[in-house]
Amino acid sequence: MDVRIISLGTLPEHPLRDKARRPRTGHATTTLIRAGDAAILVDPGLPPAAVVARLDERAGLEASEITHVFLTSFKADTCRGIRAFDNAEWLIHQAEREALGVPLATLLRDAGDADDETRAELEYQVSLLRECKPAPDSIVRGVDLFPLPGVTPGLCGLLVADANRTTLICGDAIPTLEHYEQGKVLKNALDGAAAMDSFKEAVEIADVLVLGRDNLVLNQGRGMV
């Protein structure tokens, strides 16, 4: 079992760190899990060419060698590079898929007066979500879904267990080191109370946390919140 960071993400704005500045382009941290014959890429948030280059640099893999893509949540920030992996199986937590599917379809249906760019983006998002299959509880042996709702309705991490440690890929449930250290969740969370409960569960369960917009950290925080 191998878990490694392919690219570090960033928030568009980081209220716990940044002073007044213009927002940047946000993108999720991308993580690779190799387990047996499976190569699972989590949250390919960079554009296709960039994430493929990082995959080669960090793991020596080509896009065609990825067997699964898993999205912790359905945002542009998490799936910007997904089309580079059309040969892989695309997976997302069923709760996230169901919560976003109807609203996106409704927006597209009602977009008759929208400009061409807006309508094209909605069509693209709907097509991507349709191609994402509901993830099974266990993607492969030792790689299990770990629901972390709150920031989005069906945000879901992956719990990777081996003989020595457990690693949790958190997504935006714990986005950055500052959020982890200060015990805070994103202010724009859909449900702040649920997001905080998910934060606590993440801190209690894993030895290593892969943060949604940052690096991995050794978890020293069990019981801190």
| High-pLDDT (> 70) share of the chain, % | 91
Q: Please check the confidence at residue 225 and state whether its pLDDT lies above 50.
A: no
What mean pLDDT is reported for the chain? 90
Rounded Cα gap, residues 144 and 153, in angstroms: 19
Q: Which two tokens stand for residue 38?
A: 């499976």
pLDDT in tens, 72-92: 999 889 999 999 999 999 999
pLDDT digits (tens, 9 = 90+) for 140-160: 999 999 999 999 999 999 999
Distance CA 25, CA 51 (A): 15
pLDDT tens for 33-60 read 999 999 999 999 999 999 999 999 999 9
Residue ranges of domains in the chain: 2-218
CA-atom Rg of the chain in angstroms: 17
Q: For the chain, where are the alpha helices, taking DSSP H only?
A: 48-59, 76-79, 94-109, 116-131, 177-182, 192-205
pLDDT, tens digit (0-9, with 9 covering 90-100), for 90-125:
999 999 999 987 777 776 666 666 666 666 777 788
Choice between 127 and 61, residue whose per-residue pLDDT is larger = 61
pLDDT at position 135: 97
Helix (H, G, I), strand (E, B) or coil at 159: strand
Cα distance between residue 98 and residue 164, in whole Å: 35
Q: Which of 118, 121, 55 is nearest to 84 (CA)?
A: 55
Tokens of 172: 């935006």
Q: Which fold has domain 2-218?
A: Metallo-beta-lactamase; Chain A (3.60.15)
Per-residue pLDDT band for 224 (boundaries 50, 70, 90) equals: very low
Tell me the backbone φ, ψ of residue 52, rounded to 5 degrees: -65, -40
